Copies of this chain bind each other. A is one copy, B any other.
Amino acid sequence: MPYKVTYFNVTALAEPIRFLLSYLNEDFEDNRFERELWPTLKPNMPFGKVPIVEIDGKVLNQSTAITRYLAKKAGLAGKDDWESLLIDISVDNIHDLRQALASYSYDPDEESKQKKYDPLIKETIPFYMKKFESIVTENNGYFVNGKLSWADLFFVSIMDYLNYMAGFDLLKEYPKLQALKASVVAIPQIKAWIAKRPNTI
């Protein structure tokens, strides 16, 4: 197997990579470790973080860069530099929502965390979700360029993680985004991956 994905036993930041490898019909080693092993593993990671992916023995970090690379192989990265630009913008807009959720969810200071809750739930989440719903409505049911791209796979692959951090189903008021999710999880390779993957957040 030329690909080995190493991460915690969750979807989160490794799932875009797992989605793309599945989409490509690549047989990959899905190497998951339990949280208590992390302090032992961390010093061996290229930048002290996971996921990492080994491609032909070369160890790589940075999940979004790796996902983009796989998306090019899959023909999901745009037909030219302009389309690729618009896809990259969509992905980074989704990352901004993810980071707002993570900034709340991982805040170790309880008082600071509580201060973030109301703006997150009442402002940030509705702001992004309404924008995304409107963008997908205008783009033929996809995030960008009127067709399937890795921005769609990226979004759907991290939804469980985003919902976990938010504490509720972010898609519940957004029918176009629900339809996008349904169409992505119906792609045969993605459907097969979801059926066989471990049942985790």
A21 to chain B, nearest CB (A): 14
CA distance A68 to B69 in the complex (A): 14
A96 in contact with B131 (CB, 8 Å): no
Give how many copies assemble into the complex.
2
- We find that the number of chain A residues with CB closer than 8 angstroms to chain B is 33
A92 in contact with B65 (CB, 8 Å): yes
A38 within 8 A of B: no
CA distance A49 to B73 in the complex (A): 32
**Cβ contact of A69, chosen from B62, B85, B92, B103, cutoff 8 A:** B85
The interface residues of chain B lying within 8 Å CB-to-CB of A66 are 85, 89
A67 to chain B, nearest CB (A): 10
